[in-house]
Amino acid sequence: MKKVAIIMGSSSDLGVVRKAADVLRELAVPFEVHVYSAHRTPEEAKAFAQNAREENFGAIIAAAGKAAHLAGAIAANTTLPVIGIPVKSSTLDGLDALLSTVQMPTGIPVATVAIDGAANAALLAAQILAVEDPELARKLASKRAADEAKVLADNAAVAEEFRQQ
Ligand code: RP5
């Protein structure tokens, strides 16, 4: 199976990024986690992106906050699908990172999830790999079914609590 790369701009992003690792672990998708900054280590970020396809990665998740150029910088150096996670920092509530990540120019797409949306980033990466992997597609369908069952059980409990005689 292809691997997923999870790259973050700083180790201070790890609290958010961990949720992506948890989801990939749950789905038994192989992954690697690295810290490469678009600004502090631009050469390493570029080299990782350029080598990712031959290193058997199938999708790259890039998480960064503030002036969040990491996902775009990675995407500029690979044609693998890149998923950006805008990370909420201490100022501007993550809107800075959201706009920096999502507003890519035509030709260099970054599939951007919600601010701190690490679980969805991992699910999207898994869905990309599942295009060619029926077993992974089955696991994703089963996870959706479990989520559906939970909402239906919640509905039954809430409806019962507020039922009027
Ligand atoms: C970004 O700047 C990182 O992705 C992080 O979210 C933010 C702050 O980094 P640190 O100053 O905490 O290392 O590049």
- Residues flanking ligand 1, CB < 6 Å: 9-10, 12-13, 37, 64-66, 87, 89
**Cα dihedral angle (3, 5, 6, 7), rounded to 10 degrees?**
170
Output the residue whose Cα is nearest ligand 1's atom 9.
Answer: 10
What's the pTM? 0.96
Token pair 């973050």 is at which residue?
8
- Measured CA to CA, the distance from residue 39 to residue 66 in angstroms comes to 11
63 with 8: CB under 8 angstroms?
A: yes
| Assigned CATH class of 3-132 | alpha beta
CA distance 139 to 121: 16
Domain ranges of the chain: 3-132, 134-165
What pLDDT score does 152 carry?
A: 98
Q: Which amino acid does the sequence have at 8?
A: M
Which DSSP letter does residue 8 get?
E
> Would the pLDDT of 40 be above 90?
yes
State the pLDDT at residue 129: 98
Could you tell me the CA-to-CA distances from 86 to 24, 26, 70, 80, 143 in Å, in that order? Answer: 19, 23, 10, 19, 25
Tell me the percentage of the chain whose pLDDT exceeds 90: 98
Q: Which amino acid is at 115?
A: I
**Tally of CB atoms within 10 A around 3:** 18
Mean pLDDT of 54-63: 98
- pLDDT level of residue 90 (50, 70, 90 thresholds): confident
Q: Whose CA is nearest to atom 2 of ligand 1?
A: 65
| Structure confidence by residue, pLDDT tens digits, 91-137 | 899 999 999 999 999 999 999 999 999 999 999 999 999 999 999 99
Distance 43 CA to ligand 1 centre (A): 17
Query: What is the pLDDT confidence band of residue 165, given thresholds at 50, 70 and 90?
Result: confident
